[in-house]
Chains A and B, each alone.
Chain A
Amino acid sequence: MKIVVLGINYKTTPVGVREKLAFSADDAIDALRDFKSKFPAVEFALLSTCNRVELYCAAGSDDAIKTDDLTKLMADSRSVEVEDFRDFLYVRFDNDAVTHLLTVSSSLDSMVVGESQIIGQVKECFTMACTANSTGKILNKLFHAAFTASKEIYSSTAIATRRVSVAGVAVELAKQLFADITTAKILVVGAGEMGQLLVEHFRHIKCNDITVINRTTQRALDVAKEHEISAAKWDQMDELLLTADIVVASAAVQDYLFRKDDFKAVLKKRRKGGLLAIDIAVPRNFQPEVNDLSGVYLYSIDDLSEVVQQNIKLREGEIDRAIEIICEKTAEYMDWLNSMEIGPLVGQMKAGFEKIRRDETERFFVGSRSEANCKDNMEAMVSRIVNKLLHCVIRNLNVVAREQGSEEAARLATGIVEQARQIAGDGVIKEEDEHEQE
């Protein structure tokens, strides 16, 4: 039995190489069909995202998969030379390969730990493999183990609970302040890049009342058109401040645009509740003392970045717990895999034990004993004893498989099967009985 993963990711490979090996959904399905037709005994799945391209393979025997063949297969499917990416390629086997998929699907191997996109991509990869009919028992179980591990990690750790981008934290803050963020009036001062990024985030959470103002009105109009929001003239600023709930300041100015005293005068005319001011401009647009005014909550880019750093640390602090879950799930999966490997031998062992039980029972219930009332009960009892003993043997075989490898377990199981056959076949037990009677 062998599971192999080979691939490249953003840690090992420059984007120029990654893009050569990237697969679209349709290409991936075609490639998987092609792989399967060339290696019918092998199971395949292909994970292709902007950060990684990985080929997962599994087969019943070690001989069925050779790393070089797989590398060539990948290169041929993308019409690139193996030499182009050989140096960046990583290959993991069995236990490591399982751990790798579980790590990837739980986002621990992502650029941003805790991002939620990757689990969707892994699910999509599995769906594509199912569509191409290129998976089997081993990969199906492996991917489900990955989904389970990911779900447990996301739900039982704080790995994905906090935002790790400035814009994300700003949106989270706005949500904390306003009961219905979708109806909040947002005023964007300046048409800078960061301001536009925030506009995108607010649009994403269905905020529709967004107005952008800029010293150059045309620029404001262009930005408004691009993001489907409103634009206003620079001299309407005070008027807009009276009704705004959120002010995003990203104007390129050398001095403060909003000073405490001026802002106080504006606030006096306001009848609305709290005002969230997000100052993401450098140099800053708001005088820091504006935060002292009642009802104003001023956050600069440094304040938000500090939260981002705290959240990143918090997520990183959860990695150990996540790794524990991954190790646990990997062990569970490997147990299943090993038991699957010795499965046929266990079947033979059961048959051997069963034959011994049957022969001995028949040998006992001969003559007048065959009419005994307790025959059925005794047979049932003997059957239960044999099953319990067999269960002990199987459990120990699983322990051996886990600790010393499936080959050792298989060797042990084969030995037990042989002995059971001998006992059942040459009547060793009968001879022993007779010896005891003498």
Chain B
Amino acid sequence: MSGLGVVEKSIFICVVLTYLAAGGVGFRQLSRDGEKYRRLLICLIAFAVSIESVMLIFRAVSLKAVPLTGLFESMIVLTIAFGLAFLFLSVVIREVLFSSVMSWFLVVMILLTAVLTKPAEVAHPVAKMPWAIAHGMAMALGGAMVVFATAVAFLYLLANRRLKQKKLSKVLGRLPNFQKLEMLNLFGLKAGFVLLTFGLMSGVGMMAFKGKMIQTDIAQWFLDPKIVLIIIAWVLLGSALFLRWAIGLKGKAVAYVTMVAVFLILFAMLGVGLFCGTGHVFSSLGPENIVGVVQV
């Protein structure tokens, strides 16, 4: 957060506190089982998403570019997309565990953003190109969809476990409809796969047309751990969807694949920067430094 201005920092602190409050309400509503807590939780998340969007505008103004260049900004976009998906679905899915689990996922995401990521300082010239904007947008939204599918997969596995153990009082009226969870999981996977495909294609396009600008070539690019992990996640999602179509793979298997995919994506976004180093950086560093990172 050190790269943020006073106003942006205040807004971000407000966002984190609001999400933490939502997480707390998520716990509370499980013990109290009340409609008023669900409404409060929805209001808190709607408020947090709104002020996150305001913060994103501040970031765009200070960077003078579409704020998708830094990991911090990408994570903010990811939480906004996840939050919006939750807000739309909360209209039809009223069971308390759904909103609680979603709020906890949002808390985890915002805490990861606060602890592990740094705001962009200087946008790389290529980040202002349509290729990069399309790439950043598609990857962030794709990531959000896969995280959403994971949250639903978690609920699906929880429901499956409780149904098998015959703990009906913990399922009836508390967890969303079992088939709907499966359908939502699949929707998240499909949307995530399509967006990631578009993101990867635009990334390749960016490399092909603007490779000189970022002083690297496609071969180097495809050896970058971040990209390798994203491609593995993409292949995994594609395989799950293909197997579903071909042999009717469903239920628990799809849910587990979703979880592995989200782990890969989150590690690619957050872990690679910490443990491996990556040249896939469009902020904070000048273009000459980016090449240096790739060489690492």
A295 near B251 with CB under 8 A, answer yes
Q: CB-CB < 8 A to B250: which residues of A?
A: 273
How many residues does chain B have at the interface if contact means C-beta atoms less than 8 Å apart? 19
B168 near A307 with CB under 8 A, answer yes
Q: Which of A173-195 contact B (CB under 8 A)?
A: 173, 175-179
B251 near A274 with CB under 8 A, answer yes
User: How far is it, in angstroms, between the C-alpha of A179 and the C-alpha of B156 when the chains are bound?
Assistant: 13
Residue from B169, B171, B183, B252 in contact with A179 in the complex, judged by beta carbons closer than 8 Å: B183
A172 adjacent to chain B (CB < 8 Å): yes
B9 adjacent to chain A (CB < 8 Å): no
Q: How large is the interface on A (under 10, 10 to 19, 20 to 34, 35 or more residues)?
A: 20 to 34
Flag B246-268 by CB within 8 Å of A: 1 or 0 each: 00101110000000000000000
B163 near A297 with CB under 8 A, answer yes
When C-beta atoms are compared, the residue in chain B nearest to A296 turns out to be B164
A299 near B251 with CB under 8 A, answer no
When C-beta atoms are compared, the residue in chain A nearest to B251 turns out to be A295
User: How far is it, in angstroms, between the C-alpha of A143 and the C-alpha of B252 when the chains are bound?
Assistant: 53
A271 near B248 with CB under 8 A, answer yes
A273 near B182 with CB under 8 A, answer yes
Q: What is the minimal beta-carbon distance from A279 to any residue of chain B, in angstroms? A: 12
User: How far is it, in angstroms, between the C-alpha of A438 and the C-alpha of B67 when the chains are bound?
Assistant: 91
User: How far is it, in angstroms, between the C-alpha of A169 and the C-alpha of B169 when the chains are bound?
Assistant: 10
User: How far is it, in angstroms, between the C-alpha of A178 and the C-alpha of B163 when the chains are bound?
Assistant: 13
When C-beta atoms are compared, the residue in chain A nearest to B178 turns out to be A177
B172 near A179 with CB under 8 A, answer no
A176 near B251 with CB under 8 A, answer no
Residue from B169, B173, B177, B179 in contact with A273 in the complex, judged by beta carbons closer than 8 Å: B179
User: How far is it, in angstroms, between the C-alpha of A243 and the C-alpha of B179 when the chains are bound?
Assistant: 16
Residue from B166, B179, B183 in contact with A303 in the complex, judged by beta carbons closer than 8 Å: B166
B180 adjacent to chain A (CB < 8 Å): yes
Q: What is the minimal beta-carbon distance from B98 to any residue of chain A, in angstroms? A: 13
A291 near B164 with CB under 8 A, answer yes
When C-beta atoms are compared, the residue in chain B nearest to A273 turns out to be B250
A interface, by DSSP: helix, strand, loop or mixed? helix
User: How far is it, in angstroms, between the C-alpha of A306 and the C-alpha of B177 when the chains are bound?
Assistant: 22
A117 adjacent to chain B (CB < 8 Å): no
Flag B170-199 by CB within 8 Å of A: 1 or 0 each: 011101011110110000000000000000
Q: Contacts A273-B251, A294-B252 given; indicate if A176 touches B164 (C-beta within 8 A).
A: no
User: How far is it, in angstroms, between the C-alpha of A175 and the C-alpha of B178 when the chains are bound?
Assistant: 9
When C-beta atoms are compared, the residue in chain B nearest to A272 turns out to be B248
Q: What is the minimal beta-carbon distance from A157 to any residue of chain B, in angstroms? A: 12
When C-beta atoms are compared, the residue in chain B nearest to A303 turns out to be B166
Residue from A161, A176, A291, A314 in contact with B171 in the complex, judged by beta carbons closer than 8 Å: A176
Residue from A177, A297, A307 in contact with B164 in the complex, judged by beta carbons closer than 8 Å: A297
A162 adjacent to chain B (CB < 8 Å): yes
Q: Contacts A162-B172, A299-B166, A303-B166 given; indicate if A176 touches B248 (C-beta within 8 A).
A: no
A307 near B177 with CB under 8 A, answer no
User: How far is it, in angstroms, between the C-alpha of A303 and the C-alpha of B163 when the chains are bound?
Assistant: 11
Q: Contacts A172-B172, A273-B250, A310-B169 given; indicate if A179 touches B180 (C-beta within 8 A).
A: yes
Instruction: Please name 26 pairs of A and B residues whose Cβ atoms are closer than 8 Å in the assembled complex, sorted by A.
Output: A161-B173, A169-B168, A173-B168, A176-B171, A176-B175, A176-B178, A177-B177, A177-B178, A178-B179, A179-B177, A179-B180, A273-B179, A273-B182, A273-B250, A273-B251, A274-B251, A291-B164, A294-B252, A297-B163, A299-B166, A303-B166, A303-B168, A306-B166, A307-B168, A307-B169, A314-B169
What 6 A-B pairs have minimum CB-CB distances, sorted nearest first? A179-B179, A307-B168, A177-B178, A271-B248, A179-B180, A303-B166
